[in-house]
Amino acid sequence: MGKGKRSSTIVISSSDDDEVKDKTSVRLSKSAPPRKNPKRAKKLTVSSSYSSPFQNSSAIDFDEWRQSAVATGAVGSLTGQWEHEVAVKFLHDDIVNQICEEFDQGFPQFKVTSDSSGNKDMWVEKYTPSCLGDVAVHKKKVEEVKSWFEEKLKSNADNSFSNVILISGQAGVGKSATIYAVACHLGMEVYEWRTPTPTIWQEHVHNSNSGIQYMSKLDEFESFVERIRKYGLVSASLTRVSPASVVLLIDDLPMVNGKVSYGRLQRCLYLLLQSVRLPTAILINDYGRSESAEQHSRYWEELQSSLQNAGAYKVTFNPITANSIKRALTRICRLERLKVNDEYIDFIAKSSEGDIRSAITSLQYFSLKPHPLDTLSVLNSVSTYPEEKQTETNRLDDRVLLPFGKDATLSLFHALGKFLHNKRETGSTVPSDTDVILLKEKFSRCPIKMDDPELVLCQAHGQARLVTDFLHENVLDFVNEEAIEDAWVVGAYLSDTDLLLTPSSKTWEAENVLQSAAASVAVRGVLFGNTSPLSSRWHAIRRPVLWQIDQSLKHNKNQILSRRLDDTTSASLYSHSTLATEFNPALKWLGHRVAADHQAPDEVSFDEDDCDGMSVDDEVDDDEIEEW
């Protein structure tokens, strides 16, 4: 998502600066995002050409067809004569459009490729709300942001308060859309800082050979902030408008891994906060409180609170309600003259989990399908979301399923099912005679009936910690009752994985590699260790109980520690382990103060905790996975 941003922005990439250094200039030609014309009107003309009546009735199919061809990358493999003609026609159309566009824009666009045009009519961009009323975000929040900006406009730059507004919320809740709409409403222009496409490693190797230093996104951001501090916004384009009516937008903060770079980012933002004169919006993505990103979200929380302490104004956006999304989707359907079943829209809206961007993309993708109505018939029979998900798992094929996949759980479950069922070829254990390495019998296995596990993982967007926790929770169900040895081998690999996944201050650079290595070890360990998987049973894939345990543990620990406060008789501080292992059991025996005011931790058992907090994912529990 977020592949194409709104084109009505002026992109201040750190590389299009006046004092372009040699290191950035090389990359400029390669990867600086194409400049787009700031005038919104132009874009509208382009897009309206697609939905013009002349194309609509007959050409819409072609249009769709072409787009789907583009999407699947099949343009080059066309064979039929008729198809060829059509392709030519559309390529031609493309070029014409392109030329017009270039003419409009007044500067040359080099790429006349299908993906650049495909990019332009991403509905997400096309239907970016242009006025406040269209924004699907809750009115109150929009109002809050708007009044903040109005305040900033009134009281000029010399205001002692900070000029930074902090907007947080999960992806696709309309953070930047709100900024754009508000800016548009107030007649301000938005300047967005965007990082150049990250340098890939090979490029870096190449560059370093030619004496150019590698700059991470964080580096770029640092130098950007540095420049802001020193010169303010000095961009040629800025001279036209008065600085008072400019909004600086920082979306897409650099991702940081590890303490050191995190500290840098924080320092950087802090500097920005103190020095920036323009009203500035910093958008922060909440990644949810997923267990796998615990460390990470702690960083972000701390970051946000420190920015707030320094005077930034914070607004939190909640996920967009399904109804709002439905309204937006219906509107798009109306504009696109697309006939889509209400239930279908309902389904998309609900499965997007409040991410409007993903919902729109799903809608568009879906409309490209050759026979959308056929697929819909499957859905007609079901009404509420959780059940839908279950039935779909088995009935819908991946291609239909994936675009809804804001929630990666489904595809993840496919992958987990594959790993756990561990289907193998029968027959000879040695795949080919050319394999010269001879293994002892206990180490050799039949070839697995699936793609490379890494590939499967990657397709399922499996995060290492998540996958490991799931495997750990479920793998014992699939191990043969006799094979305790196998259970140990699997357990040993999972134990290895845990070590790999433990963040260490010394290896923060290698964290990404470690993540994939860990996932690999976990998955392959499970595949290798389980020599004779149970095959003929149906198994529910459970959600890891471990997560509940961790939370209850934290809770109980705090409770034990806080009980020290009430305890005025003992004049000393015991560690929680002493309290838990010695005092609590004794107190229980003594019946001493275990009354109402002091609940023994045992009673906060995890059975109870199991019940609450699980509801969100309950549907997952009964999710039967068939063997494939």
Partner 1 sequence: MTPVLPSSQQWVEKYRPKQVKDVAHQEEVVRVLTNTLETTNCPHMLFYGPPGTGKTTTALAIAHQLYGPGLYKSRVLELNASDDRGINVVRTKIKNFAAVAVGTAHQGGYPCPPYKIIILDEADSMTEDAQASVLVLRNALRRTMETYSKVTRFFFICNYISRIIEPLASRCAKFRFKPLTEEIMTSRILYICNEEGLNLDSEALSTLSSISQGDLRRAITYLQGAARLFGSSITSKDLISVSGVIPDDVVQALFIACRSGDFDMADKEVKNVIAEGYPASQMLNHLYDVVVESDDIPDDQKARICKKFGEADKCLADGADEYLQLLDVASNITRALDNMPQEFPFGS
Partner 2 sequence: MLWVDKYRPKTLDKVLVHEDIAQNLKKLVTEQDCPHLLFYGPSGSGKKTLIMALLRQIFGPGADKVKVENKAWRVDAGSRAIDVELTTVSSTHHVELNPSDAGFQDRYVVQEIIKEMAKNRPIDVKGRKGFKVLVLNEVDKLSREAQHSLRRTMEKYSASCRLILCCNSSSKVSEAIRSRCLNMRINAPTEGEIMKVLEFIGKKESLQLPPGFADRIAHQSNRSLRRAILLFETCRVQQYPFTSNQAIPPMDWEEYVSEIASSIFKEQSPKRLFEVRGKLYELLVNCIPPEIILKRLLYELLKKLDSELKHEISHWAAYYEHRLRLGQKAIFHLEAFVAKFMSIYKGFLIETFG
Distances (CA, A) of 562 to 567, 573, 575, 603: 9, 11, 11, 17
248-277 binders of partner 2 (CB under 8 A): 266-267, 270
Residue 506 contact, options partner 1, partner 2, none, Cβ 5-8 Å cut-off depending on partner type: partner 1
Comparing CA positions, the residue from 182, 178, 180, 245 lying closest to residue 40 is 180
The answer to whether 270 contacts partner 1 (rule: CB under 8 A) is no
Which of partner 2, partner 1, none lies near 128, with the C-beta cut-off 5 to 8 A by kind? none
Q: Which is nearer to partner 1, 529 or 544 (CB)?
A: 529
Task: Supply the minimum distance, in Å, between the C-beta of residue 207 and partner 2.
Answer: 32
CB of 396 to partner 2, least distance (A): 32
Q: How far is CA 579 from CA 552, 582, 583, 584, 604, in A?
A: 17, 6, 5, 6, 16
196 binds, among partner 1, partner 2, none (CB under 5 to 8 A by kind): none
The one of partner 2, partner 1, none whose footprint includes residue 508, by CB under 5 to 8 A per kind, is partner 1
CA–CA dist 211, 205 (Å, integer): 10
With respect to partner 2, which residue has the nearer C-beta, 112 or 546? Answer: 546
Q: Which of these ranges, 190-198, 228-236, 499-507, 613-621, lies near partner 2 under the rule CB under 8 A?
A: 499-507
> Which one, 371 or 506, has the nearer CB to partner 1?
506
**Which residue lies nearer to partner 1 by CB, 240 or 442?**
442
Question: x-or-dash pattern for partner 2, window 568-597, by CB under 8 A?
Answer: xxxxxx-xxxxxxxxxxxx-xxxxx-----
C-alpha 26/C-alpha 32 separation (Å) is: 10
Task: Tell me if 419 sits within 8 A of 539, measured CB to CB.
Answer: no
> Judging by beta carbons within 10 Å of its beta carbon (0-12, 13-18, 19+), is residue 614 exposed, middle or buried?
middle
Smallest distance from the beta carbon of 430 to partner 1, in angstroms? 21
Residues 376 and 395: beta-carbon distance below 8 Å: no
Of the candidate residues 476, 510, 513, 540, the single one contacting partner 2 (CB under 8 A): 476
Q: Which two tokens stand for residue 555?
A: 């809770």
Query: What residues between 495 and 554 interact with partner 1 by CB under 8 A?
Result: 505-506, 508-509
**Closest to 237 in 3D by CA, of 39, 467, 526:** 39
**225 CB-near residues (< 8 Å, 6+ apart):** 268, 269, 271, 272
Sign of the alpha-carbon dihedral angle for 483, 485, 486, 491 = positive
Cβ distance to partner 1 smaller for residue 391 or 575 = 575
d(CA 341, CA 380): 9
Of 140, 339, 371, 442, the one binding partner 1 by CB under 8 A: 442
Spell out the residues 6+ positions from residue 77 whose beta carbon is closer than 8 angstroms to its own. none
DSSP 616-627: GGHHHHT-EE--
Question: Which residues in 308-367 contact partner 2 (CB under 8 A)?
Answer: 309
Strands, E, within 219-336: which ranges?
246-250, 280-286, 313-316
Binding partner of 509, given partner 1, partner 2, none, CB within 5-8 angstroms per partner class: partner 1
Interaction residues for partner 1, span 166-225 (CB under 8 A): none
Of 74 and 260, which CB lies nearer to partner 1 in the complex structure? Answer: 260
Distance in Å, CB of 562 to partner 2, minimum: 8
By CB under 8 A, name the binding residues for partner 1: 259-260, 442, 485, 505-506, 508-509
